[in-house]
Amino acid sequence: MRRSDTTLLTSPAVPLTDRRHAPPAMRRHAAITLPAHERHVSTVRHHTAACLDAWRMDEDDQDRTVLIVGELAANAARHGRHDMTVTLVLSGPTLQIQVTDYGGPPRAALERPEEGECGRGLDIVRALAHSVDISTPPHGTRVRAEYRVGSPRPT
């Protein structure tokens, strides 16, 4: 089994006394690359939770982000052929989540099954994020979701 590539960057080092939000000028970045396989989705969720906890993000925002990441990673694992990369960037009050895989376009974006739980991931992400962008560069799919940390969920 291949080891994952993981990056966690934080700059500058500023003590955080308030667990609700990172200081507005803070820019943080984390990335993990794993084989696009469903057994790695829980690893991606745990990695995301650990990063957000280290960044002292509010618990509601942590839950929201882990759910978004889990749905996007599950899609990448289901449709990707090789690796999937999950990137988190916290810049001021905006959190950007990007999941890239090397496969075809997500079927859930094209058609939804009549019943069952499959095919609802992107709808869940759209309900939780303020913006969602899906692009299909050559040989893969990239989904980018953003929301303002500490803001209410879109209605």
Q: What does the DSSP 8-state code read for residue 12?
A: S
Strand pairing report for 131-135 and 141-148: antiparallel
The structural domains of the chain, with segments of one domain joined by +, span 5-11+23-148
Q: What is the dihedral of CA 63, 48, 107, 147, to 10 degrees?
A: 60
pLDDT at 16: 43
Q: Report residue 110 as tokens.
A: 């094209």
Rounded to an integer, what distance in angstroms lies between the CA atom of residue 16 and that of residue 123?
A: 34
Q: Which pLDDT score, from 0 to 100, does residue 119 have?
A: 63
Contact assessment for residue 150 and residue 20, using Cβ atoms and an 8 Å cutoff: yes
Residues in the chain: 155
Using CA atoms, how far apart are residues 77 and 129, in angstroms rounded to an integer?
A: 21
**Which pTM does this prediction carry?**
0.75
Residue-wise pLDDT for 27-75, tens only, equals 899 999 999 999 999 999 999 999 999 999 989 999 999 999 999 999 9
pLDDT band at 12 (very low <50, low <70, confident <90, very high): very low
The domain defined by 5-11+23-148 folds into Heat Shock Protein 90 (3.30.565)
